[in-house]
Structure 1
Amino acid sequence: MDGSLEKATMRRVMWRLVPFICLLYFIAFIDRVNIGFAALTMNKDLGFSSAVFGFGAGVFFFGYFLFEVPSNMVLDKVGARLWIARVMITWGLISGAFAFVQGEYSFYILRFLLGAAEAGFFPGIILYLTYWFPTRYRAGVVSLFMAAAPISVVLGSPISSALLGMEGILGLHGWQWMFLIEAAPAVVLGVVVLFYMTDRPEKARWLTDDQRAWLVAEMNAEHARKQVVAKHGVLAGMTDIRVLALALVYFGTSAGLYTLGIWAPQIIKSFGLSTMAVGFLNGVPPTIAVVAMILWARHSDKTRERTWHVVIACLVAAAGLMLAGGASSTVAVIAALSLVNVGISAAKPPLWAMPTMFLSGSAAAVGIATINSIGNLGGFVGPWAIGWLKDQTGGFTAGLVFVAALLVLSAVVTLIVARAGRRSETADAVAH
């Protein structure tokens, strides 16, 4: 009876929550990286160099870094429904304001404000999933949620390319129309969140009484088990050495992710393709990545293994970046970028399953936000390094090699964290 109740409950929770939060992340990621397409015409219109654009693209993560932990702490207190709605409405309004950028300083300011507004969304959703899904389901669910990022590139690339074609309508540039139109769904969905999201299983009137009772008991039992071994104070979440190490791992994967999101259109266009062709080709690598990520995460859940699933994926992404740097044809660069997409996407679900193995309660809220805020600074370093090194060398190769080195470092640190964790478990066993 319990087995069938569990299946029915988790199926209903899955269908109620996951498609909706995937839609939210889909919109979030488009608004975060659509400047990569805007740059195809905006940079010339506004006179931006590669260095100026790379810095502006990356300064988003300074705002993100400063407000990430406070934002997740507020979400844990007031509930996901109110806070995610606030996040989406404010970031939608700011994203639309990019249509009125006049120069580099207004570009920098709006990118910083966009990061501040969106801070808390991603780690907030990761935390929210821990309220609803037992550990054994988590990597698989996170992979479905995170699939929205590559899917947003697949679908958003041709849409953004098409919107750039609205050049001159009502006296606006195509990139201005792109920002205005792609910002609107965030505001609309922010209002929908207020009526659709449910903060905790206890409040889920869309579950039957039996289903709700089973899920509440299951999550309470898991929380009680963690209380014995897991750290659960705010300070513990910020200072645990494993949190800081995982933040360094995430730094490399974020550098890779936003290198793709922000620079891939220009890397592909450097082979002499039209803007529309770039839009369609840019969607090929993430299409492959979606399938690979979901299969890799399911294998990680099935085997209960996280470390090597992160390490191998990071090394695959690093290899792809190296190959992209030396690519001499469109086919070669798309194949290389496919490897990068697969590696980056596949690394993240097992990586996000790791902190909740040793953190719970307030420590989980703060720890997840700390990993995301520090780690996402890689989203500044990667795009900025690509732009600066392109101005210095005239090509993308040096920057791609640099980001590849960061991913190799992520793989090494993951192994060190796993080894330290095994030593700690051995010491605890001996002590008891």
Structure 2
Amino acid sequence: MLKTAYGDVVAPTDAEDRTYAKVTWRLVPFLFLCYVFAYLDRVNVGFAKLQMLTDLKFSETIYGLGAGIFFIGYFIFEVPSNIALHRFGARKWIARIMLSWGVLSAAMIFVTTPTQFYVLRFLLGVAEAGFFPGIILYLTYWFPSSRRAKITAMFMTGIPIAGVIGGPLSGWILNAFSGVNGMAGWRWLFLLEALPSIVGGFAVLLYLDDRISAAKWLTADEKSLLESGLANESGHIEVHSASGAFTNGRVWVLCLCYFGIIMGLYGISFWLPTLIKASGVSDALNVGLLTMIPYGAAAIAMVLLGRSSDKSKERRWHVALPAVIGAAGLVASTLVPHNVALAVVSLTIATIGILGALCQFWAIPPAFLGGVAAAAGIALINSVGNLAGFVSPYLVGWIKDMTHSTDVGLYCVAVSLLVAAAIVLTMPKRVVNR
């Protein structure tokens, strides 16, 4: 969108649409692919669990703690990492993140004890800290708020697509590579799925540009148009400094909201294979194939939600309603424990709602945070929220050990989503609906 000298919004020109389409096709598919690699390395432990627990004689609690401790390292280093990206540039910093997490993910093949499991998962969190909020920040360097919900949704479909690709791939690796060269299938899983991240890290160095001004693939007129679009919205920014981000009450409200949504995300991400297996599917490859359904449906829903949010300029209900739908899907999944078809349907509803709320959430913080405040504030929200990535899998694992059922754990996750929905509706419309 462009504005007149009097502040009136005018329809985008053909040149504007062509320029943003050019930027979208240049950046989003590549960033999307990087996020697929990132998310796959983060959650493939959920598939490795199908063999690893028996092989290493780990309990569900050990698994839950190991899966979740990733987010402690992630929490500690998230804000410093994002500020470093803002200072040193996205190209070098994102490449560093991808290379280090790829190496550490591959090192999971050496795990034999709970302590080794915990240490490597913690270090993996340290390595990946800053990647997701860094990309969200990076997108604010190129797209104004009026276009950001759809772009963010397109990027974040990397989560469900990682499930669509990763489910069958992980199941196939577990079956096909079990015992090859005397190594268990779950060890091959960590090794093979780490390689794309390492290759992607080198690709980032060659492909990304830090800013509009550095993009040789844009003409001078295109650069001017993009920079004008960002300058036009700068008047809406309320917070510019890093200290302002830490003391702004709205930032902390969004931290709580995001915590609730992430409780749902990792309730699904780390336990979806287990929940499908528990419904009566025993073969690892079939479990992987069935996980494609929830993730594939969620990918489509995320893009449609992004378009709807940008078109209507409404943000709050585009987060709240999907969160409620996600909670309903989780509760429904506990009511059909031994029916594969109904379990997949209910988990699909849950995944659509949770991922829909997640992607629309990130249209809100940049509406009132700018500059280094955006770097610090986005990282703070993401790091505090992702502590739920520790709480959620550990809580569900501990409850399953105590009750021999995941039902109570899923109820807790559903409640957290409902609380998140209520919290986001407290945000003032004039601040976030842009």
- TM-score (structure 2 length as normaliser): 0.94
Residue 37 of structure 1 pairs with residue 63 of structure 2: no
Match in the other structure for 1:362 = 372
Q: How far apart are residue 421 of structure 1 and its match? A: 5.8
Bigger shift: residues 347-356 or 123-132: 347-356
Give the C-alpha shift of residue 218 in structure 1. 2.2
Equivalence for 1:249: 257
Q: What CA RMSD, in Å, does the superposition of the two structures yield over aligned residues?
A: 1.4
Please say which of residues 238-247 and 2-11 is displaced more in the overlay.
Answer: 2-11
Answering whether residue 296 of structure 2 is matched by residue 292 of structure 1, we say: no
Q: State how far apart, in whole Å, the 2-side matches of 1:421 and 1:72 are.
A: 24
Q: Does 1:205 align with 2:213?
A: no
Partner of 1:9: 19
Letter in 1 for 2:300: V
Quote how far apart the aligned CAs of 1:252 are.
1.2
Q: Which amino acid aligns with 2:328?
A: A
Within a 5 Å distance, the mapping from 1:175-254 to structure 2 comes to: 175-223=186-234, 225-226=235-236, 229-254=237-262
Structure with the higher helix share, 1 or 2: 1
The answer to whether the Cα contact below 8 Å between 2:66 and 2:121 also exists between their aligned partners in 1 is yes
Using the alignment, how far apart are the partners of 1:222 and 1:20 within structure 2?
26
Structure 1: which 5+ runs fail to align? 423-432
Aligned residue number for residue 381 of structure 2: 371
How far 1:357 sits from its partner (Å)? 1.1
| 1:349 shift after superposition | 2.7
| Partner SS for 1:167 | coil
SS in 2 for 1:296: helix
One-letter amino acid matched to 2:285:
M
Instruction: Please list, as runs of the form range in 1=range in 2, the aligned pairs for 1:95-244 lying within 5 A after superposition.
Output: 95-165=105-175, 166-223=177-234, 225-226=235-236, 229-244=237-252
Number of aligned residue pairs: give it. Answer: 419
Assess if the C-alpha contact under 8 Å between 1:237 and 1:365 holds in 2.
Answer: no
Unaligned runs of 5+ in 2: 1-10
Query: What's the CA shift string for 1:283-339, capped at 9, x where partnerless?
Result: 111111111111111111111001111110110001011111222311111111111
Q: Where does residue 4 of structure 2 map in the other structure?
A: none
Could you tell me how far apart the structure 2 residues matched to 1:202 and 1:220 are? 14
Structure 1 pair 420–392 and aligned structure 2 pair: CA distance change class (3 A): farther
Q: Which of 323, 326, 345 in structure 2 is aligned with 1:317?
A: 326
CA distance in structure 2 between the partners assigned to 1:325 and 1:416 by the alignment = 30
Q: Distance in 1 between matches of 2:231 and 2:85?
A: 20
Please give the per-residue CA displacement for 1:355-376, whole angstroms capped at 9, x wherever unaligned. Answer: 1111111111100000000001
* Equivalent in 46, 49, 56 of residue 66 of structure 2: 56
Instruction: Give deviations 1:28-87, integer Å, cap 9, x for gaps.
Output: 010000000000001100111111101110000000000000000000000000000000
Greater Cα offset, 3-12 or 53-62: 3-12
Distance 1:137 1:267 in 2: 37
Q: Determine if contact 1:237/1:359 at 8 Å carries over to the other structure.
A: yes
Are 2:28 and 1:18 aligned?
Answer: yes
**1:2, distance to aligned residue in structure 2 (A):** 7.3
Preserved contact between residue 45 and residue 270 of structure 2 (Cα < 8 Å): yes
* AA matched with 1:259: G
Find the residue that maps to 2:426 and give its secondary structure: helix
Equivalent residue of 1:353, what SS?
coil
Query: What SS does the aligned partner of 1:416 have?
Result: coil
Query: Per-residue CA shift, 1:232-273, capped at 9, x if unaligned?
Result: 010111221111111111111111111111111011111231
Counterpart of 1:215 in structure 2: which amino acid?
A: L
Query: Normalized against structure 1, the TM-score is what?
Result: 0.95
Structure 1 residue 419: Cα displacement: 7.1
**Is residue 282 from structure 1 mapped to residue 271 from structure 2 by the alignment?**
no
Share of identical aligned residues, percent? 46
**Correspondence for 1:83:** 93
